[in-house]
Structure 1
């Protein structure tokens, strides 16, 4: 079993180290998102400058799922610092418990999202950090704009 693990690990390291042609220093990152809603984030590059990001977060004792498509370009001509921009959609669910808080008196909301931010990939360690603002507009409620979703994300990249 240990030999199989070593073989798989070595193959993965070899495969990842031979990847080239990507403007990013990584293909996939997973980590924590701390901000307005806190959660978990996973980002994967599908093209050299295009990534998809999934976020699972908690807001007002509810659970949210967000999917984003993001473009990345070098920011301020600094290596490993990238400007992030993109759009996506979200859905949030709240339980019907007496202690749970459900905005708008609903058990769920759906909406569209934008994202703007900066991301830095460290050279010495497989970590990146990003800071972003993710405004959202809920489609199934009146006056459903949330402009308070800003966050700091820290990801392990590979």
Structure 2
């Protein structure tokens, strides 16, 4: 828990320092830097293109290691007749993952504790991404939540499907 709070504290100090020394308005959403938490704490940088598509890169810290990901996303207004501040986004990407610890569970004995495996594991994977974000009109901040299903080749199981990758984030736009 202290580790997650440390990441959040560093991100917030960085954002507020950046906000004080720049003259940015919320409508200048061209680049985004985010702190994300859920599947693991991490950071994301996103570059929005003129046609409401974007390229993004992220790093997530989990299981004694990290995951580096790159995505191509497409943004659309989620509720065009009700509110233009909510944006729905979807896309695809890839990731590289390194981790030192893995917990495997027997699906036929769900109440038994998982077995921990330790070692150095490397995996490559393909990702999908589906999310919604709320853009503030007067302030250069964005709140988001996303679902990031993926599958990996390599690692402790040689093939793994991850469907529990939900994250929430706060971002600064400039």
Q: Common fold, TM-score beyond 0.5?
A: yes
In the other structure, the counterpart of 1:101 is 101
- Count residues with an aligned counterpart: 134
**Structure 2 length as normaliser, TM-score?**
0.70
Cα offset, 1:139, TM superposition: 2.3
In the other structure, the counterpart of 1:6 is none
In the other structure, the counterpart of 2:167 is 151
Aligned with 1:148: secondary structure? coil
CA deviation string 1:113-132 (max 9, x = no partner): 00011011101211001110
**Structure 1 length as normaliser, TM-score?**
0.76
CA deviation string 1:64-114 (max 9, x = no partner): 1000000000102121211110000000113xxxxx414685521000000
Contact 1:25 1:121 in 2 (8 A): no
26, 29, 38: which one aligns with 2:29: 26
In the other structure, the counterpart of 1:88 is 93
Cα offset, 1:25, TM superposition: 5.3
Contact 2:135 2:143 in 1 (8 A): yes
In the other structure, the counterpart of 2:63 is 60
128, 149, 170: which one aligns with 1:114: 128
In the other structure, the counterpart of 2:45 is 42
Q: Which runs of 5+ in 1 are unaligned?
A: 1-11, 18-23, 95-99
* Structure 2: distance between partners of 1:82 and 1:61: 33
Contact 2:153 2:159 in 1 (8 A): no
* Structure 2: distance between partners of 1:143 and 1:127: 37
Superposed CA RMSD: 2.1
Cα offset, 1:49, TM superposition: 1.2
* Structure 2: distance between partners of 1:26 and 1:73: 14
Q: Which runs of 5+ in 2 are unaligned?
A: 1-21, 104-116
* Structure 1: distance between partners of 2:70 and 2:165: 14
